[in-house]
Amino acid sequence: MANLVYKRVSTDQQSTARQDLVLEEAGIEDPVVSEEDPGTSSRLHPLQRPMFGELLMYRRPGDTVHISEMFRLVRGDQHILDVLDVLHRDRLALRIHDGAFSAMDLTARHPRTGELLSTVKFMVQTLAAAGELQRDLQRELTYDGLRAAEAKGSKGGRRPAVAAAKADDVRTAYLEGRSIAALARDHRVSRGAIRTAVADLLPDHTAGEQDAPAPELPVTLDMPGKIADYLRATMLEPAERAALDRGATVRRGQGYTLRVSAVPAVHRKLLARCQPLDGGQGLPAVPAQRKARREYENRVSALAP
């Protein structure tokens, strides 16, 4: 039985980091991930969303749908009831891993009529209404707070960095004994921006630290499914195998991609393993595999050297 994971964010400025953490802590085995495009509104009925529709096409009776919290999938009580009817029809289980609904069995039905239990329906409607009220209140309070801040001349968002034209003045003032806090007030930037501008002048800075190469950080790339299938059947080093095993499957129409997080060096090694897919060495090239390799090569080549 498959574990089908659904994720969604409301704007392209948000990330799925919190959802990823909740679902990772749940210990879901071999998740098949369906992630909506950023900015998919919660007002759009779940059954009309592209990736949730693909998830329902991929499902098999007995599979389990996992979501971090109910409001990633639905908005109001009617959305919830419609989704529960479809899951019941297709014989799918639903697991909610955080929030008020996580302690409830939303699939409980009357043994004779097969209808959703009245107590479950009541709790769904009550909690959905409370959740919607909470979101509306948060939106109103946020809007009122922004208006009050604007009236006082404040501007939202992160404070700007030190302008290049003023960087020399900041450094000179710091060497003359001006504190970081005072410089931040003078130039209306954050203390972090001042520290960045005078980083090489700070007491704990050494030449060795400046010259030392920065460690490689993990980078997440989408690996075409045909590449992932080929690599799984190939002899790999432990670090390469671990990166594949940790990858999250994301459904893409009839195929899939594997979302792999690894340092750039591992991505380059995995790409090198795929070289036979281009043909040569007495092996014929399969056009679909060659295209998938070129696609992965373009993504890996875009990484900083």
Q: Degrees (nearest 5) of the Cα angle 83, 58, 29? A: 90
Q: Which residue has the tokens 């004994």?
A: 177
Tokens of 198: 């005078």
At which of 131, 156, 182 does a domain end? 131
Percent over 70 (pLDDT), the chain: 88
CB 225 within 8 A of CB 258: yes
Same domain, yes or no, for 30 and 47? Answer: yes
pLDDT of residue 29: 86
pLDDT of residue 99: 78
Where in the sequence is the domain holding 10, given as residue range(s)?
Answer: 3-131
User: Rounded CA gap, 33 and 15, in Å?
Assistant: 15
Same domain, yes or no, for 123 and 231? Answer: no
Structural domain contains residue 139:
no
Same domain, yes or no, for 229 and 289? Answer: yes
Burial of 16 (0-12, 13-18, 19+ CB in 10 A): middle
At which of 147, 179, 211 does a domain end? 211
Same domain, yes or no, for 107 and 25? Answer: yes
CA nearest to 285, candidates 275, 270, 271, 297: 275
- 195-222, pLDDT tens digit by residue? 888 888 877 654 444 455 556 678 888 8
Same domain, yes or no, for 16 and 123? Answer: yes
Count of domains forming the chain: 3
Same domain, yes or no, for 247 and 202? Answer: no
User: Rounded CA gap, 94 and 241, in Å?
Assistant: 31
- 249-295, pLDDT tens digit by residue? 888 777 888 888 888 888 989 999 888 887 765 566 678 888 888 88
Same domain, yes or no, for 104 and 78? Answer: yes
Same domain, yes or no, for 119 and 230? Answer: no
Structural domain contains residue 145:
no
pTM of the model: 0.45
pLDDT of residue 157: 57
Same domain, yes or no, for 10 and 48? Answer: yes
pLDDT of residue 204: 61
Stretch 28-36: mean pLDDT, rounded? 87
At which of 211, 231, 246 does a domain end? 211
- 280-293, pLDDT tens digit by residue? 655 666 788 888 88
CA nearest to 46, candidates 75, 19, 21: 75
Structural domain contains residue 272:
yes
- 110-157, pLDDT tens digit by residue? 778 777 778 777 877 787 777 677 777 877 888 787 788 778 776 655
Structural domain contains residue 246:
yes
User: Partners of 109 in the beta sheet?
Assistant: 116
Per the prediction, the chain carries an average pLDDT of 81
Same domain, yes or no, for 258 and 275? Answer: yes
Structural domain contains residue 151:
no
- What is the bridge-based pairing of β-strands 3-7 and 31-35? parallel
